[in-house]
Amino acid sequence: MLIHPWDSATDDDEWRAFVATHGFGDLVAGGRDRDLPVVVPTQFVLSGDEVVLHLVRSNPIWSAIDENPNVLLCVAGDWAYIPSSWKVIGDEDPSYGIPTTYYAAVQIAGRATVLREPADVAAVLRVQLGALQPDEAVVDPSEHGARLQAITAMRIGITEVRAKFKYGGNVDRAHREAVAEQLAERAGPGDAAAIDHLTRRLDAGS
């Protein structure tokens, strides 16, 4: 992923907040000597310096991880298309505007630890349930007994994070504010989130 300096995360809090609020991404395992990597869309929870998740035991990703435990979790969202005419202000010619797409993307690289024992799977499920539905009354995962044998859990120790927030950081404040006004007027899917990212990074100087 190409990340220009003006699109990089301002700090760890920025990418962590984005990942925590999205919580769904593509887990990629390259395996060894495969024509293609295994890619699985999945729910996950960012917990400190690791990611936890679970998948059905028959998922093909487990064999790839057994071959090579290094994985990549890709999370992207809050995207908004910016038409060419929005990129100009004042007496600039709209026909010379360059369209783009605003978006946020985080790639988390790490080493997976596969957990197959029911007690270990239950421990991961407790973390996920506590983060995803803290107000729901549920039995402890260990109460599901044999059903725990149908799933496998994973802890990914984070080794590297690449974060990109592409929200007009390559242009001046006036041009970015003009785009924010257009986003507010359009009010389409993703536009409110794009405005939040744009204005936050504008105030932070990015």
pLDDT attached to residue 145: 83
pLDDT attached to residue 24: 97
Q: What is the CATH number of the domain that holds 141?
A: 2.30.110.10
The DSSP code sequence of 139-172 is --GGGGGGGGGGEEEEEEEEEEEEEEEESSTTS-
pLDDT attached to residue 205: 64
Quote the domain boundaries for residue 120.
5-204
Query: CB of 124 within 8 A of CB of 142?
Result: no
Other CB atoms within 10 Å distance of the CB of residue 146: 7
100-115 and 50-56 strand pairing: unpaired
pLDDT attached to residue 206: 58
The pTM of the full predicted model, rounded to 2 decimals, is 0.92
Identity of the residue numbered 44: F
pLDDT along the chain (206 residues), means of 10: 96 96 96 96 96 97 97 98 94 92 98 95 93 89 86 97 96 94 95 96 76
pLDDT attached to residue 41: 98
H-run or E-run covering 192 = helix 191-204
- Residues sharing a CB contact under 8 Å with residue 154, sequence separation 6 or more, in sequence order: 52, 53, 54, 55, 65, 112, 113, 114, 115, 124
| Burial classification of residue 70, based on how many CB atoms lie within 10 Å of its CB (0-12 exposed, 13-18 middle, 19 or more buried) | middle
174-180, long-range: CB within 8 Å, 24+ apart, which pairs?
174/89, 175/87, 175/88, 175/89, 176/202, 177/202, 178/86, 178/89, 179/82, 179/86, 179/87
CA–CA gap between residue 57 and residue 69 (Å, rounded): 16
Total domains in the chain come to 1
25-81 per-position pLDDT tens digit: 999 999 999 999 999 999 999 999 999 999 999 999 999 999 999 999 999 999 999
